[in-house]
Protein backbone atom coordinates (compact mmCIF):
# COMPACT_ATOMS: atom_id res chain seq x y z
CA UNK A 1 0.00 0.00 0.00
CA UNK A 2 0.96 3.62 -0.39
CA UNK A 3 -0.27 6.93 0.94
CA UNK A 4 -1.38 10.04 -0.94
CA UNK A 5 1.02 12.90 -0.25
CA UNK A 6 -0.32 15.70 -2.42
CA UNK A 7 -3.12 16.52 -4.86
CA UNK A 8 -2.67 19.40 -7.28
CA UNK A 9 -4.54 20.86 -10.26
CA UNK A 10 -3.38 20.04 -13.78
CA UNK A 11 -3.65 22.30 -16.81
CA UNK A 12 -6.10 19.96 -18.59
CA UNK A 13 -8.72 20.22 -15.85
CA UNK A 14 -7.59 17.07 -14.08
CA UNK A 15 -5.23 16.62 -11.15
CA UNK A 16 -1.75 15.44 -10.35
CA UNK A 17 -1.29 13.11 -7.41
CA UNK A 18 1.91 12.44 -5.50
CA UNK A 19 2.11 9.14 -3.64
CA UNK A 20 4.55 7.92 -1.00
CA UNK A 21 5.54 4.28 -1.33
CA UNK A 22 8.70 2.35 -0.55
CA UNK A 23 7.61 -0.84 -2.30
CA UNK A 24 6.82 -0.08 -5.96
CA UNK A 25 9.63 2.18 -7.16
CA UNK A 26 12.33 -0.42 -7.79
CA UNK A 27 13.49 -0.07 -11.43
CA UNK A 28 10.60 2.31 -12.19
CA UNK A 29 10.84 4.54 -15.28
CA UNK A 30 8.96 7.57 -16.52
CA UNK A 31 5.91 6.43 -18.47
CA UNK A 32 5.54 3.18 -16.53
CA UNK A 33 2.07 2.11 -15.44
CA UNK A 34 1.21 1.77 -11.76
CA UNK A 35 -2.31 0.84 -10.70
CA UNK A 36 -3.69 3.05 -7.91
CA UNK A 37 -6.79 1.50 -6.32
CA UNK A 38 -7.10 -0.55 -9.48
CA UNK A 39 -6.82 2.41 -11.87
CA UNK A 40 -3.98 2.17 -14.39
CA UNK A 41 -2.06 5.47 -14.23
CA UNK A 42 1.13 6.73 -15.85
CA UNK A 43 4.18 7.75 -13.81
CA UNK A 44 5.06 11.34 -14.77
CA UNK A 45 7.74 11.94 -12.12
CA UNK A 46 9.44 10.00 -9.34
CA UNK A 47 12.10 10.31 -6.65
CA UNK A 48 13.51 7.05 -5.32
CA UNK A 49 15.30 8.80 -2.45
CA UNK A 50 12.09 10.22 -1.00
CA UNK A 51 10.11 7.14 -2.17
CA UNK A 52 7.57 9.31 -3.99
CA UNK A 53 6.07 9.23 -7.46
CA UNK A 54 3.58 11.40 -9.33
CA UNK A 55 0.75 10.41 -11.66
CA UNK A 56 -1.74 12.44 -13.67
CA UNK A 57 -5.51 12.11 -13.30
CA UNK A 58 -7.48 13.08 -16.41
CA UNK A 59 -11.03 14.45 -16.22
CA UNK A 60 -12.33 11.11 -17.57
CA UNK A 61 -10.48 9.21 -14.82
CA UNK A 62 -12.00 11.48 -12.20
CA UNK A 63 -15.50 10.90 -13.63
CA UNK A 64 -15.16 7.14 -13.90
CA UNK A 65 -13.37 6.22 -10.66
CA UNK A 66 -13.43 6.87 -6.92
CA UNK A 67 -10.00 8.56 -7.02
CA UNK A 68 -11.72 11.96 -6.91
CA UNK A 69 -12.56 11.20 -3.26
CA UNK A 70 -8.91 10.78 -2.23
CA UNK A 71 -7.24 13.39 -0.08
CA UNK A 72 -3.76 13.83 1.42
CA UNK A 73 -3.14 10.97 3.85
CA UNK A 74 -5.53 8.51 2.17
CA UNK A 75 -4.12 4.96 1.91
CA UNK A 76 -4.19 3.43 -1.58
CA UNK A 77 -3.59 0.03 -3.14
CA UNK A 78 -0.58 0.03 -5.48
CA UNK A 79 0.43 -2.55 -8.07
CA UNK A 80 3.06 -2.58 -10.80
CA UNK A 81 2.41 -4.03 -14.24
CA UNK A 82 2.62 -7.82 -14.44
CA UNK A 83 5.90 -9.41 -15.49
CA UNK A 84 5.82 -12.56 -17.65
CA UNK A 85 7.68 -14.41 -14.88
CA UNK A 86 5.10 -13.55 -12.20
CA UNK A 87 2.86 -16.30 -10.83
CA UNK A 88 -0.82 -15.75 -11.60
CA UNK A 89 -2.66 -16.05 -8.29
CA UNK A 90 -5.84 -14.24 -9.33
CA UNK A 91 -7.17 -13.07 -12.69
CA UNK A 92 -6.05 -10.53 -15.28
CA UNK A 93 -6.75 -7.03 -13.95
CA UNK A 94 -6.19 -4.44 -16.65
CA UNK A 95 -6.56 -1.30 -14.56
CA UNK A 96 -9.39 -0.10 -16.82
CA UNK A 97 -12.03 0.71 -14.22
CA UNK A 98 -15.60 0.04 -15.42
CA UNK A 99 -17.28 2.13 -12.74
CA UNK A 100 -17.71 2.49 -9.01
CA UNK A 101 -19.68 0.62 -6.39
CA UNK A 102 -20.75 1.55 -2.88
CA UNK A 103 -19.93 -0.43 0.24
CA UNK A 104 -23.31 -1.18 1.85
CA UNK A 105 -22.34 -3.86 4.34
CA UNK A 106 -19.40 -5.07 6.45
CA UNK A 107 -19.69 -8.00 8.83
CA UNK A 108 -17.08 -10.02 10.67
CA UNK A 109 -17.07 -13.80 10.83
CA UNK A 110 -14.17 -14.94 12.97
CA UNK A 111 -11.00 -13.39 11.54
CA UNK A 112 -12.62 -12.89 8.14
CA UNK A 113 -14.62 -9.92 6.87
CA UNK A 114 -17.72 -10.06 4.70
CA UNK A 115 -18.12 -7.04 2.42
CA UNK A 116 -21.25 -6.24 0.40
CA UNK A 117 -21.05 -3.80 -2.51
CA UNK A 118 -23.89 -2.20 -4.45
CA UNK A 119 -23.24 -1.92 -8.19
CA UNK A 120 -25.10 -0.41 -11.12
CA UNK A 121 -27.12 -2.87 -13.27
CA UNK A 122 -24.78 -2.36 -16.24
CA UNK A 123 -21.94 -3.76 -14.10
CA UNK A 124 -23.89 -6.30 -12.05
CA UNK A 125 -24.82 -8.26 -15.19
CA UNK A 126 -21.16 -9.25 -15.58
CA UNK A 127 -20.76 -10.36 -11.95
CA UNK A 128 -21.37 -14.04 -11.24
CA UNK A 129 -21.08 -16.22 -8.11
CA UNK A 130 -17.59 -17.76 -7.83
CA UNK A 131 -16.42 -15.45 -10.61
CA UNK A 132 -13.71 -12.80 -10.43
CA UNK A 133 -14.11 -9.10 -9.66
CA UNK A 134 -11.46 -6.45 -9.08
CA UNK A 135 -12.37 -4.13 -6.20
CA UNK A 136 -9.99 -1.19 -5.84
CA UNK A 137 -7.58 -3.30 -7.89
CA UNK A 138 -7.75 -6.36 -5.64
CA UNK A 139 -8.62 -9.59 -7.46
CA UNK A 140 -11.41 -11.21 -5.46
CA UNK A 141 -13.83 -14.12 -5.75
CA UNK A 142 -17.52 -13.22 -5.71
CA UNK A 143 -19.48 -15.32 -3.21
CA UNK A 144 -23.08 -14.31 -3.92
CA UNK A 145 -24.92 -11.94 -6.25
CA UNK A 146 -28.17 -10.39 -5.02
CA UNK A 147 -29.91 -9.28 -8.22
CA UNK A 148 -32.99 -7.77 -6.57
CA UNK A 149 -30.89 -5.65 -4.21
CA UNK A 150 -28.32 -4.85 -6.90
CA UNK A 151 -25.45 -6.11 -4.72
CA UNK A 152 -22.75 -8.73 -4.51
CA UNK A 153 -20.51 -9.86 -1.66
CA UNK A 154 -17.09 -11.32 -1.04
CA UNK A 155 -15.01 -12.37 1.95
CA UNK A 156 -11.57 -11.11 2.94
CA UNK A 157 -9.39 -13.44 5.01
CA UNK A 158 -7.24 -11.91 7.74
CA UNK A 159 -4.05 -11.88 5.63
CA UNK A 160 -5.72 -10.01 2.77
CA UNK A 161 -7.21 -7.48 5.20
CA UNK A 162 -3.68 -6.48 6.24
CA UNK A 163 -2.59 -5.87 2.63
CA UNK A 164 -5.42 -3.90 0.98
CA UNK A 165 -7.41 -0.72 1.63
CA UNK A 166 -10.93 -2.17 1.44
CA UNK A 167 -11.23 -2.92 5.21
CA UNK A 168 -10.23 0.68 5.96
CA UNK A 169 -13.22 2.04 4.04
CA UNK A 170 -16.53 2.76 5.73
CA UNK A 171 -20.07 1.88 4.69
CA UNK A 172 -21.16 4.44 2.10
CA UNK A 173 -17.71 4.92 0.58
CA UNK A 174 -17.05 4.16 -3.08
CA UNK A 175 -14.78 1.47 -4.50
CA UNK A 176 -13.48 1.06 -8.05
CA UNK A 177 -14.88 -1.94 -9.90
CA UNK A 178 -13.42 -3.77 -12.88
CA UNK A 179 -15.45 -6.74 -14.05
CA UNK A 180 -13.87 -9.83 -15.59
CA UNK A 181 -13.04 -9.02 -19.22
CA UNK A 182 -14.20 -12.49 -20.36
CA UNK A 183 -17.85 -11.61 -19.78
CA UNK A 184 -17.57 -8.48 -21.90
CA UNK A 185 -15.87 -10.37 -24.72
CA UNK A 186 -18.62 -13.01 -24.75
CA UNK A 187 -21.35 -10.37 -24.77
CA UNK A 188 -19.66 -8.50 -27.61
CA UNK A 189 -19.30 -11.64 -29.72
CA UNK A 190 -22.94 -12.63 -29.23
CA UNK A 191 -24.38 -9.15 -29.80
CA UNK A 192 -22.30 -8.45 -32.90
CA UNK A 193 -23.41 -11.53 -34.79
CA UNK A 194 -19.89 -12.93 -35.07
CA UNK A 195 -21.05 -15.99 -33.15
CA UNK A 196 -24.53 -17.51 -33.38
CA UNK A 197 -26.18 -17.80 -29.97
CA UNK A 198 -26.69 -21.33 -28.69
CA UNK A 199 -30.30 -22.35 -29.28
CA UNK A 200 -32.10 -24.76 -27.00
CA UNK A 201 -33.40 -27.82 -28.80
Query: What pLDDT is stored for residue 80 in this prediction?
Result: 86
Residue 113, strand partner residues: 108, 156
Half-sphere exposure of 93 (CA within 13 A, CB side): 31
Mean predicted lDDT score pLDDT of the chain: 87
Where does a domain end: 47, 80, 113? Answer: 80
User: How many domains does the chain divide into?
Assistant: 2
The model's pTM is: 0.76
Q: Is residue 35 part of a domain?
A: yes
Whether 67 and 103 map to the same domain: the answer is: no
Whether 76 and 103 map to the same domain: the answer is: no
Of 148, 130, 58, residue with least CA distance to 97: 58
Please name the residues in contact with 155: beta carbons below 8 A apart, sequence gap of 6 or more. 109, 112, 113, 114, 115, 143
Domain that holds residue 16: 2-80
Whether 63 and 131 map to the same domain: the answer is: no
Question: Residue 158 region, left (φ>0) first, then alpha (ψ -120 to 50), else beta?
Answer: alpha
Confidence of residue 140 (pLDDT cuts 50, 70, 90): very high
- What confidence tens digit (pLDDT) does each residue in 25-60 have? 888 889 888 999 989 998 999 999 999 999 988 888
Q: Is residue 196 part of a domain?
A: no
Question: Residue 15 region, left (φ>0) first, then alpha (ψ -120 to 50), else beta?
Answer: beta
Residue 57, strand partner residues: 15
Where does a domain end: 80, 113, 137? Answer: 80
Q: Is residue 108 part of a domain?
A: yes
Whether 54 and 105 map to the same domain: the answer is: no
CATH number for the domain that contains residue 127: 2.40.30.20
Check residue 197 and report its DSSP letter: P
Amino acid sequence: MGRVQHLGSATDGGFTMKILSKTVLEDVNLGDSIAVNGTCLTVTDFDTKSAEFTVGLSPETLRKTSLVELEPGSPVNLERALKPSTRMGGHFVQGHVDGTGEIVGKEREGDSLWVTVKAAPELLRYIVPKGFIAVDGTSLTVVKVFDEEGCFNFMLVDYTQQKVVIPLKEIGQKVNLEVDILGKYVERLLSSGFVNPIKSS
